[in-house]
Amino acid sequence: MDLSSLYSLVNESVNFIKAHPDLACLVIFTWAFLETALLLGLLLPAEKVLLLSSLLAAKGIISPLQFLVCGTVGTFLGYTVSYFFGAMLGEELLTSVAAKFGLSEESLKKTKRFIETRGELSLVVGRFLPVVRPLLPVVIGAFRPSFLKFSLLNAVGALLWILSYLLFGNLIGYLFSFIISHKFVAIPVILLVPTLYLIWRRYGKNSRHLL
């Protein structure tokens, strides 16, 4: 599937949610699940659907609670399936399977080092790292730690990850509303900030050599 098809799928999903908000939970659950199940997050633009859906929640088109619950359950189950997938493969087969998704052995080693460095918190922190996120539960499953401990940390990480989308959507929605209602002030400021940055980049660094 090429990039244009993937982005078309994203648009269709978001438009479907707009047209059928009563079925939004199913769409959000599905994309949250696919983002974290069986390494599919390496291929599918699920993050974009979740981000745009969070903006719909901020606008009140869909229920924020619905987004939070359905997204959390979807990503929790996605990680659970990936855990058992990794446990079934084991370390040796995991390398060959990952290669089919375009992942090198070095990527797996980096993920393993990340887990060893962060310990149990890797299940929470790793969700916020795009490449690590889909790999994490599979690699952890290959080492077969306690499933109960995995599930508890998985639940915490799932909730925080989906909550971050919801908070980000609300923040963007608030900023957009502020810009619209204060456009005569906000727009000049938005234009001024990058202009000042470019001026600093050009002249600010050179001025240090004059001191």
Q: What is the pLDDT of residues 95-137, one digit of tens each?
A: 666 666 666 667 677 777 777 776 667 788 888 887 778 888 8
Number of Cβ within 10 Å of residue 92's Cβ equals 8
- Residue 196 exposed, middle or buried by CB count within 10 Å (0-12, 13-18, 19+): exposed
User: 172 is written with which tokens?
Assistant: 């963007």
Q: Of 64, 82, 79, 84, which is closest to residue 32 (Cα–Cα)?
A: 79
Q: Could you give the CA distance from residue 44 to residue 35 in angstroms, rounded to a whole number?
A: 7
H runs (alpha helix) in the chain: 3-19, 24-36, 46-59, 64-100, 105-118, 122-125, 132-143, 147-181, 183-199, 205-208
Q: Could you give the CA distance from residue 179 to residue 4 in angstroms, rounded to a whole number?
A: 31
Name the least confident of 99-103, 108-112, 152-156, 182-186. Answer: 182-186
Residue 94 contacts residue 39 (beta carbons within 8 Å)? no
pTM score of the predicted model: 0.73
pLDDT averaged over the chain? 77
Q: How confident is the model at residue 149 (pLDDT cuts 50, 70, 90)?
A: confident
Q: How confident is the model at residue 72 (pLDDT cuts 50, 70, 90)?
A: very high
Residue 208 in this model has a pLDDT that exceeds 60: no
pLDDT tens by residue, 7-24: 687 788 888 888 888 898
* Tokens 């499953």 sit on residue: 141
